[in-house]
Amino acid sequence: MPTIRRQIIDLLSQRKYGARDLSQALSVREKEIYAHLPHVARSVISKKQCLQIIPPRCISCGYVFKTRKRFTRPSRCPRCKDERIKEPRYQIL
Ligand SMILES: [Zn+2]
């Protein structure tokens, strides 16, 4: 397993992180974090753990993207069309 993924697993096992927090903590681009997350999700399953996603939320109206399966931040709110979306956060439980 590449070191970066192990570092992501270590961090997410300690507390919740957003992709931006992870990218700053590990000095990699946010885009790269998103590319690693599906692999991280698969690899923790084998350890009987789960990568939990705290869903993104619209800052303007409070809409929660509960059914979203992707890891990235949605571009805008389906309810009020606002583009200020609080990014999803992740945690390994
Ligand atoms: Zn909204």
pLDDT, tens digit, for every residue of 56-87? 999 999 999 998 878 999 999 999 999 999 99
CB 59 within 8 A of CB 86: yes
Ligand 1 center–CA 89 separation, angstroms: 18
**Centroid of ligand 1 to alpha carbon of 91 (angstroms):** 24
- CATH architecture of residue range(s) 3-92: Orthogonal Bundle (1.10)
C-alpha distances (whole Å) from 24 to each of 31, 33, 49 are 12, 10, 24
**What are the sequence ranges of the domains in the chain?**
3-92
Cα–ligand 1 centroid distance for 63 (angstroms): 5
Q: For 6-28, how does the pLDDT look when each residue is reduced to its tens digit (9 = 90+)?
A: 999 999 999 999 999 999 999 99
Ligand 1 center from residue 86 Cα (angstroms): 11
φ and ψ at residue 58, rounded to 5 degrees:
-75, 125
Rounded CA gap, 55 and 90, in Å? 9
Check: pTM over 0.95? Answer yes or no.
no
